[in-house]
Homo-oligomer: A and B are copies of this chain.
Amino acid sequence: MAIKVIIFDDKLSIRESLELLLLTDNRFDLAGAFEHAEDAAQIAGILNPDVILMDIDMPGKNGIQAVAEIHKKHPHINIIMLTVFEDSDRVFQSLRNGANGYLLKSTEPAKLLEALADIHSGGAPMSPVIARMVMHHFQIEKAQPATDYQLTTREKEVLKLLVDGMSYKMIASSLEIGFETVRSHIKKIYDKLHVQTMTEAVTKTLREGLI
């Protein structure tokens, strides 16, 4: 069965070339092409396409907002963003809003068709440049080396329970050790983390990902 596609792009030339491209390939069924995204969510509801090609930059309601609305109301519809820019903020914003793929307009026609097929079968086509941006972001987010405070295993256990909101008494019975032992551990933890209170310890632990 053909994959049903609709297009949102303000430039007639782009719409026409995409239309032509899709009409010449019988794997796809072009259900409509629109010059603005004002009623995109409603249109998506009526036409119920498999995939939407959405220009990121349009006068009036831009593609990023449109994605958010469509995705919210029709989460099963796959959305591929099209852009001429490699502006990372907008890429991330779109992806966060629920876009499934991201292609540069310079993408060759053949690859674009491939992307449409990919997305329909559960993939997430991205131009390699875009993928690099996403991944780079991903690496930054996860790879902070985390200063080592030399906590012992037991101290880490105690700290974990503390972060989980337990009192000394609860920690003691949870670890099946005495109340005073918990106190000792926590004193050492505070010492090593250079803090004086529970909340400081908790904040430091969570912010620096110590556990």
Contacts and interface: CB of A to CB of B under 8 A. Distances in A.
B95 A139 contact: yes
Interface string A81-112: 00000000000100111101100000000000
A76 interface: no
* Chain A interface main SS type: helix
A181 interface: no
Contact of A202 (B132, B135, B202): B202
Interface in A65-79: none
A195 interface: yes
A122 B129 contact: yes
A99 to B, nearest CB: 9
11 contacts: A95-B135, A95-B139, A123-B131, A124-B135, A141-B141, A165-B195, A165-B196, A199-B199, A202-B202, A202-B206, A206-B206
A143 to B, nearest CB: 5
A126 interface: yes
A198 interface: yes
Contacts of A17: none
B128 A118 contact: yes
Contacts of A206: 202-203, 206-207
A119 interface: yes
Contacts of A129: 122-124
Given A124-B129, A131-B131, 13 more contacts: A95-B139, A96-B142, A100-B135, A115-B128, A125-B128, A126-B126, A141-B141, A165-B195, A199-B202, A202-B203, A202-B206, A206-B206, A206-B207
B132 A123 contact: yes
A164 interface: yes
